[in-house]
Amino acid sequence: MSQPERRLVAWFLYVAMLALSIGATLGPFQALEHAGINLYPYLAPFIRSYYQGLSIHGVFNVLVWTTFFISGFLTFATMSGLKHPLYSLKLGWITFWIMIAGIGLTGWALFSDNATVMFTSYPPLKAHPAYYLGLTLVVVGTWLVSANIFLTYRAWRRDHPTERTPLATFGALATFVMWDIASLGIAAEFLTLLIPASFGITQGTDPLLARAFFWFTGHPIVYFWLLPAYVSWYAMVPKQAGGKLFSDPLARLALVLFIPFSIPVGLHHQFTDPGISEAWKMVHAALTFVVFFPSALTAFTLLASLENAGRARGGRGWFGWFFKLRWDDPAVAAQVLAMLLFAAGGVSGIINASYDLNLMVHNTAWVPGHFHLTVGSGVTLTFMGISYWLIPYLTGRKLWSRRVALWQAWTWFAGMLLLGRGLHWLGLLGAPRRTMLGAAAYRALNPEWGLPSLLVGVGGGILAVSLYLYLVEMAATIWFSREPADIEVPEAEAVSGPEHAPFLLERWRVWIGAAVVLTAIGYVPTVVQLLAHFNPVASLRVW
């Protein structure tokens, strides 16, 4: 890969890390607040409220850290998989700057306390137009990233008409095909409802319609975050762990199934919303169990692949292989620990999706418990693990300290175990999410919240240490490491190779067609009904 290409990828990752440093720094303040230690007064005048901090935490972590990392990593995976130059480096940089302008606008609105609306941007809360325009630019940026990737693929395909697409690139394509369709919901929401209302062109918005548009994108966005981690787990980790991918065709099947099944499930975020038919909620609940399936396939394939690696390295017995994995390689340790946490997050996800159980846990601390194990661990800890080899590869500088990186991975694991346990538990005890619990009078009526809140506080504290270990490791590698890195891009071989994959898996039109049909079935009746009862209410700034 050429130096200029490496530089482009590296800059996407640097901005991702900068965003994480901002977003995640605010996390421990929330966790400590739940444990009864309110440090917000010390953040003034930069952060004026718990809710402003929470909005910045959500946006910078799940929207900016993820999106920039993914844009860099999947662009990389496309080029390195195909061994083909990027279609247009210039387009790559234009995209980068559009996205930077976007986070500039959004960041300004958030930090000036003009957008305390949470990362879900729920109306009738009204943010400054800069907030919505900025996020719109970031989404437009992702479309341009995908265009560059698709055009690179097309150029490669012309010279290789019958070859199977290399697995990592296949995963990058599947991710962006899915995302480009999925992101139309938030585009519709922002362009037709939130931006006009924010400018005062319309008097208000219909919160229910806006929420439906939001979750049209808001569920599949979690797979936009997850699939790049799957790309690494399938196409790279087996090699790094010292073994082979169990089945390449099974990996492709899992990845491609996300295209049709990711979108028509968004109503599982709206089970408690009035005005949407119970029947359609049930359809989305059932389809959520369908989209669970490719992740279950993934768990199977990964376990078999890791077992293959552990046995190749001399592991014996039912579990002995697990301890023989390359635990001394931080890239491997971080990603296997991420898988373990993600498996627990997947379990709480299926509980969320189960209609009746959702009524118990919805809007409680259980839900942030769930997503800290999924996006906060499965995805984030994986991206950290990837950066332990990818940053050295891109910069040519050896990882500064393997030991610090290993400590980082294990502390993230420990911190998230405690935080995840505490939040799920608090949720079961009825503690609401997105609430400044320490200031809530009813807290005194619930003494049993004490222990789980403590777990949240301690977990958050450990995570703060872990975050700074990560940032120090990265900064030291980029600035101070003097030894040259000697890194090969990991490309896992497979026990059952790509030659066994039916070509149907690469017929993108079939999968896109299936996605369009299923999405239309899943959403058209509900959207038509919501439009027929369009009921705008005034937008509010409540802070």
- What are φ and ψ of residue 362, in 5° steps? -55, 140
Q: For this structure, is 434 an active site residue?
A: yes
Token digits of residue 427? 């949720």
Which residue of the chain is nearest Cu ion when measured via CB? 219
Reading the block at residue 14, the tokens are 């640097």
Q: How far is CA 308 from CA 110, 246, 332, in A?
A: 47, 7, 15
Q: Is 103 in the site for ligand HAS (CB under 6 A)?
A: no
Q: Which of 343, 357, 429, 471 binds ligand HAS (CB under 6 A)?
A: 343
Question: CB of 265 within 8 A of CB of 288?
Answer: yes
**Residue 470 contact among Cu ion, ligand HAS, none, beta carbon within 5 to 8 Å by kind:** none
Tokens 């990593």 — which residue? 73
3-state secondary structure 333-382: HHHHHHHHHHHHHHHHHHHHHCHHHHHHHCCECHHHHHHHHHHHHHHHHH
- 219 in active site: yes
Torsion of CA 459, 463, 465, 469, to 10 degrees: 150
CB of 296 to ligand HAS, least distance (A): 5
- Residue choice 350, 428, 471, 514 for contact with ligand HAS (CB under 6 A): 350
Per the annotation, the verdict on 40 as an active-site residue is no
Site for Cu ion in 92-121 (CB under 5 A): none
- Sequence-distant (6+) residues with CB within 8 A of 377 are 338, 341, 342, 345, 412, 413, 416, 420
Q: How many CA atoms lie within 13 A of 181 on its CB side?
A: 26
Residues linked to residue 245 through DSSP beta bridges, in sequence order: 494
Interface stretch with Cu ion, choices 93-101, 218-226, 445-453, 517-525 (CB under 5 A): 218-226
By CB under 5 A, the count of residues binding Cu ion is: 1
- Contact predicate 380/334, CB 8 Å: no
Q: Does 340 bind ligand HAS (CB under 6 A)?
A: yes
Residue 540, φ and ψ in degrees, nearest 5: -130, 150
In terms of Cα–Cα distance, which of 91, 93, 90, 87 is closest to 156? 87
Give me the catalytic one of 214, 371, 393, 413: 371
Single out the catalytic residue among 370, 397, 424, 443.
Answer: 370
DSSP letter for each residue of 67-97: HHHHHHHHHHHHHHHHT---S-HHHHHHHHH
* Binding-residue pattern over the window 240 to 279 for ligand HAS, x denoting contact by CB under 6 A: ----------------------------xx----------
Q: Measured from the CB atom, is 340 or 404 closer to ligand HAS?
A: 340
CB of 436 within 8 A of CB of 39? no
Residue 117 interacting with ligand HAS (CB under 6 A): no
Residue 226 contacts which entry, ligand HAS, Cu ion, none (Cβ below 5-8 A, type-dependent): ligand HAS
Q: Are 116 and 49 in contact (CB under 8 A)?
A: yes
* Measured CA angle at 293 (ends 289, 294), to 5 deg: 140
Minimum distance between the CB of residue 122 and Cu ion, rounded to whole angstroms? Answer: 15
Q: Phi, psi (5° rounding) for residue 495?
A: -65, -50
Is residue 34 a contact point for ligand HAS (CB under 6 A)? no
Q: Which 358-417 positions form the footprint of ligand HAS (CB under 6 A)?
A: 358, 362, 367, 370-371, 374-375, 379
The CA distance from 245 to 249, in Å, is 10
Q: Which is nearer to ligand HAS, 148 or 380 (CB)?
A: 380
Residue choice 143, 292, 468, 543 for contact with ligand HAS (CB under 6 A): 292
Among 339, 426, 437, 489, binds ligand HAS (CB under 6 A): 339
370 is an active site residue: yes
Q: Which of 126, 164, 219, 372 binds Cu ion (CB under 5 A)?
A: 219
Nearer CB in complex with ligand HAS: 297/514: 297
| By the rule CB under 5 A, 370 interacts with Cu ion | no
- Which is catalytic among the residues 157, 362, 434, 468? 434
Closer residue to Cu ion (CB): 313 or 362 = 362
Respond yes or no: is residue 433 known to be catalytic.
yes
User: In angstroms, what is the minimal distance from the CB of 352 to ligand HAS?
Assistant: 3
Q: Which residues bind ligand HAS (CB under 6 A)?
A: 120, 222, 225-226, 268-269, 288, 291-292, 295-296, 298-299, 302-303, 322, 339-340, 342-343, 346, 349-350, 352-353, 358, 362, 367, 370-371, 374-375, 379
Please identify every residue annotated as catalytic.
Answer: 219, 223, 370-372, 433-434
